[in-house]
Amino acid sequence: MTELQILDIMYQTFQTAVKLTMPFLLISMIVGVVIAIFQAATQINEQTLTFVPKFLAILVVMGLLGSTLLGTLQDFFRQMLAIIVGS
């Protein structure tokens, strides 16, 4: 295996990791900002208030995009197996 192939595998790995985690990170950030604005407007300073809405939003995203994300992960795994078998 050459250095170029290893760098390509690393690039694909990081790209796949970003594709898989970005929906969860974005929805968590958006819900967190909305809750922070709500807390600032109502002067409720409860630290645990953001946990439940973020958790529920992440569950919704997982329910909506779970099969797509799993398909992406399966495609990546197949590519890696093809590289291992091919070398």
pLDDT of residue 56: 94
- The answer to the question of residue 16 being in a domain is no
The whole domain housing 62 covers 21-86
DSSP state of 43: T
Counting the structural domains of the chain, the total is: 1
**Residues 50 and 35: beta-carbon distance below 8 Å:** yes
In a domain, 7, yes or no: no
* 52 located within any domain: yes
Structure-token pair, residue 34: 């909305």
Q: Is residue 2 part of a domain?
A: no
pLDDT of residue 49: 82
In a domain, 14, yes or no: no
Per residue of the chain (87 residues), give pLDDT as tens. Answer: 788 888 988 999 999 999 999 999 999 999 999 998 998 888 887 777 888 999 999 999 999 999 999 999 999 999 989 988 886
16/11 Cα distance (integer angstroms): 9
Phi and psi (nearest 5°) for 31? -65, -40
